[in-house]
């Protein structure tokens, strides 16, 4: 009735494994990262530039809204 589908190469990502709970320092358990996963703590220069642009544009937008509200309440 149901056809079994075959898993293809790349359907499942491999995880880093260390299931030995006796290894206190290196135990990963189910929280192991994927083999091809990259952990970045600091954005690169291009991402920093994008973040700064987003923050500045939102700040400018908020200030323009605030000024327009102050002008309307004073009039």
User: Is 5 part of a structural domain of the chain?
Assistant: no
Give pTM, 2 decimals.
Answer: 0.35
Domain range for 64: 42-74
In terms of Cα–Cα distance, which of 48, 32, 30, 29 is closest to 40? 48
What are 2-29's pLDDT values in tens digits?
Answer: 777 777 776 788 888 888 888 888 888 8
Helix or strand holding residue 70 (H, E): helix 45-74
Mean residue pLDDT of the chain comes to 81
Quick one: 37 and 52 in the same domain?
Answer: no
User: Is 7 part of a structural domain of the chain?
Assistant: no
Quick one: 17 and 32 in the same domain?
Answer: yes
Burial (Cβ within 10 Å: 0-12, 13-18, ≥19) of residue 28: middle
What is the spatial distance between Cα 30 and Cα 19, in angstroms, rounded to a whole number?
Answer: 8
What is the spatial distance between Cα 18 and Cα 11, in angstroms, rounded to a whole number?
Answer: 22
Quick one: 34 and 17 in the same domain?
Answer: yes
């Amino acid at each position: 009735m149901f056809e079994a589908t075959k898993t293809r190469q790349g359907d499942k990502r491999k995880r880093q494994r260390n299931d030995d709970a006796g290894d206190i320092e290196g135990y990963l358990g189910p929280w192991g990262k994927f083999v091809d996963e990259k952990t970045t703590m600091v954005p690169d220069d291009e991402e920093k530039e994008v973040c700064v642009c987003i923050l500045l544009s939102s700040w400018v937008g908020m200030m323009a809204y605030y000024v327009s509200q102050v002008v309307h309440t004073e009039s």
